[in-house]
Amino acid sequence: MGRTVVVSFEGENVRVVYATLKGNGIVVDDALILKDEQFDDFLQKEKTKEFIVVYDFKNFYQDIIPIPPVKNRYVKNLIESEIKKRAPDFKDFSFIYFLHGEKVIENRRMKEIFIFAVKNENLKDIINRFINKGKVIKTLYPSVFSVTGLLQSTEEPLLCISEVGQNKNLFLLKDGRIQFIRTAQSFETGINDFDIQNINMTVNYCRQTLRLNPSSIMLLGSLCRAYNARMDTLIPVACLSQPPNVSALKEVFLDFIVPISAFFRHKNINIITSEYKDFYLIRTMLLYSIILLSSLSVIGLGYIGFKIKGISDTKSTLRNIKNEIPDIEESLSIYRQQKSKLQQYMPFVTFINNVNSAPDIQRLLVMLSGLNINNIKIDSLAATVSDNSSKVEIKGTIETGSYADMQASYQNFIDSIRRLKGMNITGQGLELKDKRFRVEVSYKEE
């Protein structure tokens, strides 16, 4: 299989790992560390188009919330509503969630859900860095959730510690699921007495508040190599060993444990925005469509070539007949019939030429991703291709309170379309009553 690239944003540094997937493991081909300000130049020069991204979020919301037992299609909406109630400053956000357990509250059996939410403005800052360089993010993992891919699932609670810069991420793991996350500041890399105090405080919090008693502490990455503490921990300490399915130098594994962990399959921890997920899905479908059309074109051209050869052979036969018999009218009649059959395939040739001359839809979608969508929610986007232009119908909802704000947001959205090169608005409509709008756009490459 081809090489996969993982980019991990860790404080002021960006760690990049190139690896080849091999069975259930990976072979690390290369690894490098960049300063954050160097990353844009790296993206500009890098030939890889798609990336797995890991990010250490500093501003996030975590909680364990109860919800009633409902059908799966309602769970996400219930969780989103509950987050807005508990965290008023989280208005536009994306989140991941896991079943934590069940609990009886006021004689009702409730599901307890662990949630982790991040504001979309923070996610869009990350996404735009890649879009601006013509790159694509396949998945975006929070760093704490990514490293769990290297840990064995245990029934006994396990307090895990990873390092990002000088700070430490402490998270409690039970049955392979995160129960609690804490980011602790530190004065230096590695483990010192100050870090031991934070670790012991976290152990007591787990015991007293969460009613979970960690069996041991698991140090990840280079923390064991830089263990300089004299104080004792309340529970035993262990270090994560390099698993056999990771083929890399030991130093590389320890220093790049976060991006290396992202190569292993993770379920339900992609926190990318729903809008970008839709964009990635459309892009993937378009790529497969292009491959299919290219295959059909080759088959069609081969078939036409075969028919043309057959007609050429027929013409050669007619010439021989013309030389052998005095009456040529019958032979000419056969030739006209074969020529008529050839004309039946000309529409297919014309179709192939039209497909190859159609505008670049991928470029159009990338342009649309830069629209001003403040207070705008895109519900659907339908694109059709003609001979030399594309038509796009955008339908959506305006998420504002007053009619004035609604009109202003809609006008800003329309103006941002008009500013795009090659775009021409051919139709539009705004329903004030239900806050829905429709915009028809014609796009022609210039």
Q: How far apart are CA 39 and CA 307, in angstroms?
A: 54
pLDDT at residue 355, as a whole number: 45
> Residue 338 above 80 pLDDT?
no
Q: Mean pLDDT across the chain, nearest whole number?
A: 84
Q: How would residue 165 be classed by pLDDT, with cut points 50, 70 and 90?
A: confident
Neighbours of 303 (CB within 10 A): 12
pLDDT at residue 376, as a whole number: 85
DSSP 20-77: EEETTEEEEEEEEEEEGGGHHHHHHH----EEEEEE--SS-EEEEEEE----HHHHHH
Q: How would residue 349 be classed by pLDDT, with cut points 50, 70 and 90?
A: very low
Taking residues 40-61, report their average pLDDT.
94
Q: What is the DSSP letter of 243?
A: P
pLDDT at residue 346, as a whole number: 55
Q: How would residue 60 be classed by pLDDT, with cut points 50, 70 and 90?
A: very high
> Residue 70 above 80 pLDDT?
yes
pLDDT at residue 348, as a whole number: 43
Q: How would residue 321 be classed by pLDDT, with cut points 50, 70 and 90?
A: low
What's the pLDDT tens digit per position in 145-162?
999 989 888 889 999 999
> Residue 356 above 60 pLDDT?
no
Q: How would residue 398 be classed by pLDDT, with cut points 50, 70 and 90?
A: confident
What's the pLDDT tens digit per position in 212-245?
999 999 999 999 888 999 999 999 999 999 999 9
> Does residue 33 contact residue 14 with C-beta atoms inside 8 Å?
yes
Angle, to 10 degrees, between the axis of helix 361-368 and the axis of helix 274-324?
160
Taking residues 23-38, report their average pLDDT.
94
- Token pair belonging to 292: 């299919």
Q: How would residue 359 be classed by pLDDT, with cut points 50, 70 and 90?
A: low
Q: How far apart are CA 145 and CA 66, in angstroms?
A: 21
Q: How far apart are CA 172 and CA 152, in angstroms?
A: 13
In terms of Cβ atoms closer than 10 Å to its own Cβ (0-12, 13-18, 19+), residue 397 is middle
pLDDT at residue 367, as a whole number: 75
pLDDT at residue 287, as a whole number: 56
pTM as predicted? 0.63
Q: What is the DSSP letter of 191?
A: B
- Secondary structure of residue 244 in the 3-state scheme: coil
> Residue 312 above 60 pLDDT?
yes
- Token pair belonging to 324: 């052998």
